[in-house]
Amino acid sequence: MPRMDARIAALLTVTFLLPAAAAALSGAYSSAIVMEERSGEVLFAENEHARLAPASMVKMMTELVVLEHAARGELTLDDMVTVSARASRIGGSQVYLKEGEVFTVRDLLMALAIHSGNDAGVALAEHVAGTDDAFVVLMNERARELGMRDTVFHSVHGLPPARGQSSDLSSAHDMAVLGREICRHPESLAWAVMDQVPFRNGQFLLRNPNPLVGKLRGLEGIKTGYTVEAGFCLTAAATQKGVRLISVVMGAKTNAARGSETSRLLARGFTEYSPVKLVPAAGDSCPRQIPVKGGKLKTAGLVFTQPLEVGVRKARAGDVTLRYELPDRIEAPAAAGAVVGKAVAELDGKPLGEVPIALSAAVVKGTFWDRIFRR
């Protein structure tokens, strides 16, 4: 009887592993993860904290640091960058920058995001921090801020290290965290799904190595990577029916495998997640009213200014709640459409999204007689 119990337990174990871990058990990849972008909830993970070489997925952090410098006003995407001798000598995937050539930050970011240009990454790093080594310090600082505990960067490009140097290390989990931050920059996602783009006044063609570009519905990037040590890697983002998922596959055996496994994992994630429409349309009435001080009427009606849709596991769709953040009262007069607060969608106290709340009509100041008769 104990032997039978053991066999049943083993069968149940294998059953529950399938199909989630089937690919990993068959050696299709070394590690993988699927994460819901808005909440950061992990839907599936296999060896997600294994520290592996991320290859060119390192460039997501290079791109993020540059974009965040631009967001803070420390540079603009139209700033001009002069290519150094060092940047022109970087090997591997490149756009063949020549010493003394001048490009905009935007052009080099596109070369980085689309073509995975190592030389473009070095040129950007030098422009921001003076040297690529100084830029790597910024990369590691940002990684710590994001809680990427499995990650240490030694380069801006992810190339295999020279003798005596250390390899970049990260994990599927940390690459997904980094992918979430990249999703805050729409221009990056737009570049990441471009298939072919002219560069250097049409003399060179940027080609996207992502095998899913033009093939996966809702694809939004993000970054491929490959070295002999790292294998074929891919961090992808995709949105379907209002739900955005991020997947990471590391150590796949072939380019085709990283594409097919990414597609499979995302498809599985989308079957588990469901969009929940909390506010169908802009202008929909809010069930709350707000007290008015000094107005013709005692309360004012409210509307939502835009739709609100969030993604949650299907089994939890009915557990999403709206929490209202409104002042105790407003003072008359006030214009129609004036934003007075917001509603926050939450699941177990964790915010999933929010929508502004505005006055549905103008709030008119009351007269002396209004105040008398209101009593």
Q: What is the pLDDT of residues 112-132, one digit of tens each?
A: 999 999 999 999 999 999 999
Per-state percent for the chain, helix, strand, coil, to nearest 5: 35, 30, 35
CA–CA separation, 139 and 62 (whole Å): 7
Q: What are phi and psi of 214, to 5 degrees?
A: 80, 0
- Of 49, 72, 62, the C-alpha closest to 138 is 62
Question: Cβ distance 32 to 232 under 8 Å?
Answer: no
Biggest CA-to-CA distance, the chain: 89
Q: Tell me, what DSSP letter sits at residue 319?
A: G
Q: What is the DSSP string of 94-159?
A: -----TT-EEEHHHHHHHHHHH--HHHHHHHHHHHHSSHHHHHHHHHHHHHHTT-TT-B-S-SS-P
Instruction: Assign 32 to helix, strand or coil.
Output: strand
Instruction: Assign 74 to helix, strand or coil.
Output: coil
CA–CA separation, 246 and 35 (whole Å): 5
Q: Note the pLDDT of residue 26.
A: 54
CA–CA separation, 130 and 124 (whole Å): 9
Q: Tell me, what DSSP letter sits at residue 361?
A: S
Task: Tell me: cis bond preceding 222? Omega within 30 of 0 counts.
Answer: yes
Q: Take residue 150 and report the two structure tokens written for it.
A: 């499995």
Angle of the 105-115 helix axis to the 118-129 helix axis, nearest 10: 140
Q: Give the lowest-confidence range in 6-20, 136-150, 308-322, 348-362.
A: 6-20
CA–CA separation, 120 and 96 (whole Å): 9
Helices (H), the chain: 2-17, 22-25, 59-71, 85-88, 105-115, 118-129, 132-145, 172-182, 186-192, 255-272, 368-374
- CATH 3.40.710.10 is held by the domain 19-274: yes
Q: Note the pLDDT of residue 374.
A: 59
Specify burial of residue 72 (Cβ count, 10 A radius: 0-12, 13-18, 19+). exposed
CA–CA separation, 322 and 347 (whole Å): 9
List, for residues 3-26, the tens digit of each pLDDT value. Answer: 434 443 333 333 333 344 444 445
Q: What integer is the mean pLDDT of 268-282?
A: 93
* 280-374 CATH pick, 3.30.200.20, 3.40.50.720, 3.10.20.600, 2.60.410.10: 2.60.410.10
List, for residues 53-109, the tens digit of each pLDDT value. Answer: 999 999 999 999 999 999 999 999 999 999 999 999 999 999 999 999 999 999 999
Measured in residues, the chain has a length of 375
Question: Which residue numbers are catalytic?
Answer: 56, 59, 116
CA-based angle 94:86:130, to the nearest 5?
A: 110
Q: Note the pLDDT of residue 372.
A: 63
CA distances (Å), origin 255, targets 18, 31, 50, 208, 322: 23, 15, 21, 13, 44
Q: What integer is the mean pLDDT of 164-178?
A: 97
Do the bridges between strand 31-36 and strand 243-252 make them parallel or antiparallel, or are there none, so unpaired?
Answer: antiparallel
Q: Tell me, what DSSP letter sits at residue 170?
A: B
Question: Cβ distance 349 to 328 under 8 Å?
Answer: no
Within the chain, all domains assigned CATH 2.60.410.10 are found at 280-374
Within the chain, all domains assigned CATH 3.40.710.10 are found at 19-274
User: What is the pLDDT confidence band of residue 275, given thresholds at 50, 70 and 90?
Assistant: confident
Q: Give the lowest-confidence range in 15-24, 34-43, 266-275, 308-317.
A: 15-24
The predicted model scores a pTM of 0.82
